[in-house]
């Protein structure tokens, strides 16, 4: 049986991403953290269509990633071919300054190994954070196996393996250097959309209590430097409440049927996209960009 590039029972990436506690959270955090690198954010934004429905686009991206995580090789290859064609068009120069390190005219390309590494890094860091706190802490051996799977994932999207830290320990060291680096900067659009992707998700009114807990956990999950760049306050009281919510989430997962805690998150993604569309049709506020 074709169990894809990340076979069940053998792939740590699949084990981690099949947990809905991870699948429903990692992408939003990855977008929020990822936006602090101007070349990644602006390069993607300049070649993005349908900016007035950003959560429809995010839903589409989530579905494509699931096809690679969980699908057969044929299903994954179809997605990889589509993404490769999209990446071919993501090349250009910054239209305006994006912080002191990236002046107008700085070139970017979706196939730049450094930009590709940052993209997979924020995914890996986010998934690991939520798995550790909402499922169970990974062992050192599992962290290493998971990072090797992410390197394989990145290779499928044509990132050269030699451009990435070869071990999980070296990845963590590299990632901490990136977060402490002088080149982090939020453009006006990146600040708006990075925040919206994590904290202004269109949700039905029946889900608002859950959304408040979601937002608190999301805030607590962000690295301190990232919260600082967004100007987000995180108090001692909020940290205590966040810890309690995380503990409650772990306990609830242990009691829930497996079908509710594992598998595809596409139905939940589509609910968000449908809520976004209803808000637009009714003239209600929802995050949008001009374009």
| SS3 assignment for 95-152 | CCCCCCCCCCCCEEECCCHHHHHHHHHHHHHHHHHHHHHHCCCCCHHHHHHHHHHHHH
CB–CB of 221/122 below 8 Å?
no
Q: What confidence tens digit (pLDDT) does each residue in 190-230 have?
A: 999 999 999 999 999 999 999 999 999 999 999 999 999 99
Q: What confidence tens digit (pLDDT) does each residue in 153-170 have?
A: 999 999 999 999 999 999
The lowest-confidence range among 46-50, 125-129, 267-271 is 46-50
Residue 222 phi/psi, 5° resolution? -70, 140
Residue 34: predicted pLDDT:
98
Residue 90: predicted pLDDT:
97
Residue 2: predicted pLDDT:
79
Q: What confidence tens digit (pLDDT) does each residue in 24-51 have?
A: 999 999 999 999 999 999 999 999 988 9
Q: What confidence tens digit (pLDDT) does each residue in 51-92 have?
A: 999 999 999 999 999 999 999 999 999 999 999 999 999 999
Residue 135: predicted pLDDT:
98
Question: Which of the pair, 240 or 290, is modelled with greater confidence?
Answer: 240
Instruction: Give the CA-trace dihedral at 65, 67, 69, 75, to 10 degrees.
Output: -130
291 pLDDT above the threshold of 80: no
CA gap 79, 76 in Å, rounded: 5
Residue 65: predicted pLDDT:
98
CA gap 212, 283 in Å, rounded: 23
pLDDT band at 1 (very low <50, low <70, confident <90, very high): low
Model pTM?
Answer: 0.97
Domain ranges of the chain: 12-282
Q: What confidence tens digit (pLDDT) does each residue in 91-124 have?
A: 999 999 999 999 999 999 999 999 999 999 999 9
CA gap 187, 190 in Å, rounded: 5
Residue 3: predicted pLDDT:
86
CA gap 134, 148 in Å, rounded: 22
Choose among 11, 155, 31: nearest CA to 163: 155
């Amino acid at each position: 049986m074709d169990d894809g590039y990340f076979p069940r029972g053998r792939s740590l990436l699949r084990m981690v991403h099949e947990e809905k506690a991870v699948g429903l959270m990692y992408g939003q955090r990855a977008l929020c953290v990822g936006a602090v690198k101007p070349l990644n954010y602006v390069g993607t934004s300049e070649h993005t269509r349908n900016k007035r429905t950003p959560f429809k686009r995010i839903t589409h991206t989530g579905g494509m990633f699931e096809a690679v995580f969980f699908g057969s090789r044929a299903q994954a290859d179809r997605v990889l071919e589509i993404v490769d064609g999209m990446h071919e068009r993501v090349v250009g120069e910054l239209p305006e300054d994006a912080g002191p390190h990236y002046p107008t005219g700085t070139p970017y390309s979706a196939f730049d190994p450094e930009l590709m590494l940052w993209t997979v890094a924020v995914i890996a860091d986010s998934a690991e954070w939520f798995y550790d706190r909402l499922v169970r802490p990974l062992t050192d051996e599992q962290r290493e196996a998971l990072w090797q799977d992410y390197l394989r994932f990145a290779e499928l999207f044509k990132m050269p393996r030699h451009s990435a830290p070869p071990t999980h320990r070296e990845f963590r060291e590299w990632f901490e250097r990136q977060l402490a680096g002088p080149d982090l900067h939020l453009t006006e659009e990146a600040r708006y959309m990075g925040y919206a992707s994590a904290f202004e998700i269109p949700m039905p009114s029946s889900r608002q209590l859950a959304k408040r807990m979601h937002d608190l956990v999301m805030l607590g999950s962000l690295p301190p430097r990232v919260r600082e760049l967004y100007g987000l306050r995180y108090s001692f009281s909020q940290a205590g409440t966040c810890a309690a919510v995380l503990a409650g989430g772990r306990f609830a997962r242990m009691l829930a049927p497996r079908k509710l805690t594992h598998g595809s998150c596409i139905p939940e993604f589509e609910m968000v996209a449908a809520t976004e569309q209803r808000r637009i049709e009714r003239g209600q506020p929802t995050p949008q960009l001009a374009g």
